Amino acid sequence: MFKTKKKHREITSLVLFDFILSGTVVVAVQVTFFILKKCPCILCGCLFVPNMCKVRWQDFDQDLYVGATVVRPGQDPYARNKFNQVESDKLRMDRAVPDTRHDHCRHKQWKSDLPASSVVITFHNEARSALLRTVVSVLKKSPPHLVKEIILVDDYSDNPEDGALLGKIEKVRVLRNDRREGLMRSRVRGADAATAPVLTFLDSHCECNDHWLEPLLERVAEDKTRVVSPIIDVINMDNFQYVGASADLKGGFDWNLVFKWDYMTLEQRRARQGNPIAPIKTPMIAGGLFVMDKEYFEQLGKYDMMMDVWGGENLEISFRVWQCGGSLEIIPCSRVGHVFRKQHPYTFPGGSGTVFARNTRRAAEVWMDEYKNFYYAAVPSARNVPYGNIQSRLEMKKRLACKPFKWYLENVYPELRVPDHQDIAFGALQQGGNCLDTLGHFADGVVGVYECHNAGGNQEWALTKDKSVKHMDLCLTVVDRTAGSLIKLQGCRENDSRQKWEQIESNSKLRHVGSNLCLDSRSARMGGLTVEVCSPSLNQQWKFTLNLQS
Question: How many other β-carbons are positioned within 10 Å of the β-carbon of residue 383?
Answer: 10
Q: Do 135 and 47 belong together in one domain? A: no
Whether 394 is in a domain gets the answer no
Contact yes or no for 529/518 (Cβ under 8 A): no
Contact yes or no for 487/519 (Cβ under 8 A): yes
Task: State the Cα–Cα distance between residues 175 and 120, nearest whole angstrom.
Answer: 10
Q: Do 209 and 270 belong together in one domain? A: yes
Helices 391-399 and 352-367: crossing angle in degrees, nearest 10, is 40
Q: Do 217 and 297 belong together in one domain? A: yes
Domain that residue 499 falls in: 423-547
Largest CA distance in the chain: 107
Whether 361 is in a domain gets the answer no
CATH assignment at residue 283: 3.90.550.10
pLDDT(14) > 50? no
Q: Do 90 and 130 belong together in one domain? A: yes
Whether 66 is in a domain gets the answer yes
Spell 55-90 as b/e; 16+ CB within 10 A means b. eebeebebeebbeeebbeeeeebbebbbbbbebbbe
Q: What are phi and psi of 509, to 5 degrees?
A: -135, 160
Nearest to 524 by CA among 426, 429, 425: 429
- Give the mean model confidence (pLDDT) for residues 321-333: 99
DSSP bridge pairs for 485: none
Structure confidence at residue 344 (pLDDT) = 66
Question: What is the gyration radius of the CA atoms in the chain, in angstroms?
Answer: 29
Residue 498 CA: distances (Å) to CA of 114, 459, 483, 489, 494:
65, 21, 14, 11, 11
Residue that is last in its domain, among 289, 324, 339: 339
Q: Do 68 and 49 belong together in one domain? A: no
Whether 155 is in a domain gets the answer yes
Q: Do 127 and 21 belong together in one domain? A: no
Give the torsion sign (CA, 167, 129, 55, 141): negative
Q: Do 504 and 530 belong together in one domain? A: yes
pLDDT(333) > 80? yes
Q: Do 93 and 153 belong together in one domain? A: yes
**Taking the model in full, what pTM does it have?**
0.83
| Tens of pLDDT, residues 163-193 | 999 999 999 999 999 999 999 999 999 999 9
Q: Do 322 and 217 belong together in one domain? A: yes
| Tens of pLDDT, residues 222-267 | 999 999 999 999 999 999 999 999 999 999 998 999 999 999 988 9
The mean predicted confidence, pLDDT, of the chain is 89
| Tens of pLDDT, residues 93-150 | 999 999 999 999 999 999 989 999 999 999 999 999 999 999 999 999 999 999 999 9
Q: Do 38 and 90 belong together in one domain? A: no
Q: Do 333 and 227 belong together in one domain? A: yes
Residue that is last in its domain, among 339, 372, 401: 339
Contact yes or no for 128/66 (Cβ under 8 A): yes
Whether 379 is in a domain gets the answer no
Q: Do 148 and 225 belong together in one domain? A: yes
Pairing of strands 147-154, 117-123: parallel
H/E run at residue 173 = strand 172-176
Whether 247 is in a domain gets the answer yes
Q: What are phi and psi of 58, to 5 degrees?
A: -65, -25
Structure confidence at residue 442 (pLDDT) = 86
| Tens of pLDDT, residues 361-380 | 999 999 999 999 999 998 88
Structure confidence at residue 45 (pLDDT) = 38
Domain count of the fold of the chain:
3
